[in-house]
Structure 1
Amino acid sequence: MNSQPVLCLIVYCLLACCGIMLLVWFWARKIKNAGVVDIFWSYNFPVIGVILWLLAPGFPTRRHLICAMVILAGLRLGTHLAIRILKHINEEEGRYQQLRKEWAPNPDRKFFFFFQFQAISNVLLAIPFFISAMDTNPQLSGFEYAGFALWFISITGETIADRQLAAFKRDPANKGKVCSVGLWNYSRHPNYFFEWLMWVSYFVFALGSPYGYLAVISPAIILYLLLKVTGIPATEEQSLRSKGEAFKQYQSSTSVFIPWFKRPLTP
């Protein structure tokens, strides 16, 4: 196993992620479905995890642990999205249809830059992984144990939320209705909440390493994106377009993000 300096690792990760997104852009242009970018944005993190696992010089136990966390979480989310998106591969998700309209008359060109930005964001968000995988200290700290525990809670919560929503959508009787079962009874976006909590866990894990405080950048960016940009705003706009008054009532009865912040929709 060859150890590489951090700059080389960053370059390797950028080349890998940008290359993958270039291929995905060609595919998306062919099938007229930009939604596939979500699948490979998730899968790019395991790619980064494998590169760091193979080439980073950090203490093996720490490096293996953080890389395993990243790989497992990325594969789980990417596969969940792939199952959902590939079932309707000929029908582009509403928020990407909206972007396609806004970016006319040449949406493919703008989608190219959008896909490449997603690849760059993969590497930027991977700051906690680089910090942890480069740390050569041969002893784990309490931060790393706490980060792993929080990660386990996060991936479990996100998995439960995703499965509850998938089960709700599979029932034909729920067509056109708003999911308000399980965790969705307490939050409109429990999946997003646990996804953000996972990035907090990576930050906590990185605090056990030198310069670990820099890892706060990742959960801060994720929180901003979820609350203000591509996460909740776009999802709720699409829900309002497709479900109308039913979703407005759901909005008035549930927390937008944190599951226990407001009263549940039903007793």
Structure 2
Amino acid sequence: MPAVAVALLAFVGLIVSFTAVWITQLHSRNAGMIDPVWAATLGGVAMFVAILATGPELNRALVAAGGGIWGLRLARHLWRRNRGQPEDPRYRQFRLQWGDAAPRNMFWLFQLQALISMLLSVAFFIPAYSTETPSRFAIAAAVAIWIVALAGETAADRQLKQFLANPEHRGQVCRAGWWRYSRHPNYFFECVHWLAYAALAIGVPWGWLTLMPPVLMAWLLVKVSGLPLLEARLVQTRPGYREYMRTTSAIVPWPPRAAASTSPTRPDHPQDRSTRS
């Protein structure tokens, strides 16, 4: 099927899915479920594109496996984290700011996420519709990057979950595992994941476009929906978080500037309650 037709069908599917979540949150007043739905539908787009694309079978198989597994893992993590919990502070803050306009503005916020999903899906379309099979080097690089990203993000999520399971850590700052070297290691590995498709597109026509998704994701997490909203609040509500910011890299894992506490500490989950990690 032509790429334009597949893109239109995928976009319509995203709009319908996010509209259904919007209708649900009108009754529940909890918009947090958009996060796991976002991950699941984007993984679904990867598999949808792979099935209908016209590129080499290997390209499409790698896109389906890479995007599908990533999306399902992240969706499962976000669903288990958000289910039965109060609304994500980001969405709750939007409701307060928007007042009576909250239902309408929330609808358009959800549709904006559908548009962002389509921009990210460029990473799936380019290799899936390429007329050439990637070189062995490109395939090896893509698989290696994908494994590192998935393993790193899974490990960071698990470390945080184990930390939060201990009641003694409530209100503290996590410096366990990856969190010692980055304030948001899940964000880092999320961005790395999108580089796997750029590696897969090395040497193919329009392959340079696959650099847009990792750049877009990094920009969203660092400048828009991640750090700015999250850390402005944590500095005001979490003792020790300002010092954590001073000593610890924001995204890229790096040795801390000063000796960290010997016991892992971290604030309650909101540090990680942003899009997609």
Q: When the two structures are superposed, what TM-score results if normalisation uses the length of structure 1?
A: 0.93
**How has the CA–CA distance of structure 1 residues 22 and 42 changed in structure 2, closer, same or farther, with 3 Å as cutoff?**
same
1:137 counterpart SS class: coil
Aligned-pair CA distance for 1:39: 1.1
Answering whether residue 202 of structure 2 is matched by residue 220 of structure 1, we say: no
Q: Deviations over 1:125-148 (max 9, x none)?
A: 111210011123245442232012
1:105 counterpart SS class: helix
Amino acid at match of 1:15: V
CA RMSD of aligned residues (A): 1.5
Structure 2 residue aligned with 1:247: 241
Q: Deviations over 1:164-187 (max 9, x none)?
A: 011111111111111111110111
What does 1:75-114 correspond to in 2, within 5 Å?
Answer: 75-88=72-85, 91-114=86-109
Answering whether residue 129 of structure 2 is matched by residue 129 of structure 1, we say: no
For the residues of structure 2 that align with 1:171 and 1:59, how far apart are their CA atoms?
A: 49
Aligned-pair CA distance for 1:237: 2.3
For the residues of structure 1 that align with 2:156 and 2:219, how far apart are their CA atoms?
A: 21
For the residues of structure 2 that align with 1:250 and 1:138, how far apart are their CA atoms?
A: 46
* Structure 2 spans left out of the alignment, 5+ residues: 263-277
Aligned-pair CA distance for 1:235: 1.9
| Runs of 4+ more than 3 Å apart | 138-141, 261-264
Structure 1 residue aligned with 2:254: 260
For the residues of structure 2 that align with 1:193 and 1:238, how far apart are their CA atoms?
A: 21
For the residues of structure 2 that align with 1:191 and 1:135, how far apart are their CA atoms?
A: 30
What does 1:42-57 correspond to in 2, within 5 Å?
Answer: 42-57=39-54
Structure 1 residue aligned with 2:33: 36
Residue in structure 2 matching 1:64, options 55, 61, 65? 61
Structure 1 residue aligned with 2:162: 167
- More displaced stretch, 114-123 vs 201-210: 201-210
* Structure 1 spans left out of the alignment, 5+ residues: none
Task: State whether residues 123 and 210 of structure 2, in contact with CA within 8 Å, keep that contact through their aligned partners in structure 1.
Answer: yes
**How has the CA–CA distance of structure 1 residues 29 and 110 changed in structure 2, closer, same or farther, with 3 Å as cutoff?**
same
